[in-house]
Structure 1
Amino acid sequence: MSSDVLEKRYRMLLRAYPAAYRRERADELIDTLIGDEPTTRRWPSLRQAASLIRGALRVHGGSTADRPTAVLLWQGIHLGAMAVLALGALIGLDDIVEAFQFGGLSDPMAVLRDQGIFEVMVIAALVALVADRTRTAAVLAVAAVVVPSMISQYLLLNGLPQFWAPVVAAPLIIAGLWRPADVPSTPRANAVLATVGILALHLIPAGGFRRVDVSAQIVAAAMVIAGIAVFLWVATADQRLLIAVAPTLLLGTLYQLGNDLSTGELLRRPDALPSLVVAALMAAGAVVSTRMRQRTRA
């Protein structure tokens, strides 16, 4: 009876793997995990659970594909475009809400003209990309740069960070049009989860470091360390995230370069130049390590 309960719980963990992989390997994995000896265990060990989850992340990242490096690059580019558009939409929505809170209700049409049209077009490009309508997403991303700027110069003149989202995303989306036929597109649910994870990384309250209150600084430091540790634990298994996070950090760097060129300010910003350099190095490392594993497997 205990073995049946344990097998059921193992199979729940195996649901983290793609369906096709489960159909081929689930029974083999269960036999390996449980073994032939009777057991009184009712729960997988923490180490086994973590190994299964990391294994699922590796499979989603293309480790079992015929061309893992190609999957890493092309799906990483796709996820990067999604993440940067989602981050731009999130920042833009927050700015619109803030604008209405601080006087925007007296002239709502000005807020909609200055920020609303841009927000709608960025969200439309994001939705098209999630739906795997790459050509439509490319057109909408380019239009999100040009059309709102023709209607209002607010975002352009103020150099707001969301303005850079379609600027960064458009080349990535256009590059995705040349994805090789033997490289599958990123599954929709997986792409959404990856994008949410990258957004969560940007929502860590790193601004608490600049507060005078020591307790707030300690809490901020703990949250930053925990958030980065979780992200790296996931991203070192699904290395597409190491590529996808770089464009979102470029967004912060472009904003800082446009508003304050002083090196001191850039180094104080966790989303500016230093973290972008680290992200670029991690992305390069992901490509190199994947190619080395591919050669070893061959």
Structure 2
Amino acid sequence: MEFTGERFVPQCQGEIAAEHYHRYFFASGFVAGKRVLDIASGEGYGTHILAQSAAHVTGVDISPEAVATATQKYAGDRVAFLQGSAATIPQPDAAVDVVVSFETLEHLSEQEAMLSEIRRVLRQDGLLIISTPNKPLYSRQGDNPFHVKELCREEFVALLKSRFAHVSLLGQKVMYGSLLSGTGGETLLLRQREEDGAVERMPFTEQAMYFTALAGNGPLPPTQSSFFDYPLEKSDLAAQLRENLAELQERHDAAQARLEAVEAAYTAILASRSWRATAPLRRLRHLLKGKGNKS
């Protein structure tokens, strides 16, 4: 599948890859031995990740092309793909232990119907792992033509609590810095102020680009902070630097070519008959010019 901006595909690199892979690797820690449903499974790479530890995973996507691609690449004894909508999930009641749905909610206007369907297909003590952009921060990047309704933190949590008794919220943001991780409460984001060098301290979830939530009607499993070690050389910043370097090299090569052309033309002039024939005139002009300056 080609990348259109609507669905992530594995050939992408940069922040978008770090974001998508991190979510699925995080979710894979909750699915061991479970029957799992991956809503909006797209190309199927995430369903494949979940299947490494789950008993069985079914990926559902509304796109026939996505389902065909995923089936060809990943389908097997523990992995299957079905075409269907997140608002009308093609699964029976109480069929799965875990539902995973990343970056799907904002693509639908029928968000309440989607949550009701997820609640229907989950077993009574089942778990939902779901993510969506943080509207106030995400919207600063400009409008996403594939998004129908983005949510702020309060709206996202309220929607989940309308269907599930328990909700646990985490924030996600691609950053390059230093991680100190532990079990002592909420993660803090430390940022050095430019004007005076002082440090700002703020809850990390307030600065998160995306929210990932665990929701269920039974007790939720404990969660820990996680850091996805994504190679810096694959980052958007590194890609931009490579692009800038290539542009500078292109400009340098063009300037060098022009210089070489000028030098070749100058050499040709010096070697020409007309240049040699007019040499006495140039010498005379130089002498006359010198006498004029003396007077």
User: TM-score, length-normalised on structure 2?
Assistant: 0.23
Kindly indicate which of the two structures has a greater share of residues assigned to strand: 2
Which entry has the higher C-alpha Rg, 1 or 2? 2
- Counting helix residues as a fraction of each chain, which structure ranks higher? 1
TM-score (norm 1): 0.23
Larger RCO (alpha carbons 8 Å, 6+ apart): 1
